[in-house]
Amino acid sequence: MPEPASTSGDDAGLHVEDEAVDFSGVPWEAWIGVFFFLVLGGVVLTQFITRYVLNDSASWTEEIARYLLVATVFSGAVIGVARNNHIQVDFVYRYLPAGIGRILATLVDALRSAFFLAMVVLCYLLIQRLGASRMTVVDLPVSILYWICLGGLAAMAWRSLHVSLIHWRRGYSVLERPESTMHER
């Protein structure tokens, strides 16, 4: 029969040690996204407490939470662009000749950057059309939300151009070499 496990304080060969946390690689846009997320969490907690604990729902919390969710998405999406984690189909590139794959990957980079730049312009035009429109419950201009979206789109355009430049300088993109990362040179 096997001997029973000892409970005399030994760790049975298991030793866990936490690694040091390093935030140096976190892009500045991520901190903006974290800020909006934390404020959103506070507003949702306020909504929960007023609705279910105090039984007197604060009407402003639902509208502000909705706008903060949009702000969180637009500021957080910049991280995906900066890390080049957008959805991609690299299966086709395995069967294309290298030259055609390079041209197609460059075209994808250019189209992505052009899309974000066009969205910046369209968002700005939308802000101009909104004029002095106010939020429904809270007496603030609704353009505040669209300025945040514009900032997120502008940061995505900037990061997209930066990613395109990296791909151009090193001569390949993640589409052509899926095993590569943005930090390789």
Most confident segment among 24-28, 116-120, 139-143: 116-120
Residue 155: CB atoms within 10 A of its CB come to 23
Q: Where are the domains of the chain?
A: 28-170
Nearest to 171, CA basis, from 70, 102, 78, 71? 102
pLDDT in tens, 45-93: 999 999 898 888 888 899 999 999 999 999 999 988 888 877 777 777 7
Q: Rounded to an integer, what distance in angstroms lies between the CA atom of residue 156 and that of residue 105?
A: 18
Secondary structure tally for the chain: helices H, strands E: 4, 0
How many Å apart are CA 90 and CA 175, to the nearest integer?
Answer: 5
Give the rounded percent of residues in the chain with a pLDDT score beyond 90.
43
| Residue 3: pLDDT over 90 | no
Output the pTM of the full model.
Answer: 0.80
Output the DSSP codes for 86-146.
S----TGGGTS-HHHHHHHHHHHHHHHHHHHHHHHHHHHHHHHHHTT-B-SSS-SBTHHHH
- Is 63 strand, coil or helix? helix
Taking the C-alpha atoms of residue 37 and residue 65, their distance in angstroms, rounded to an integer, is 10
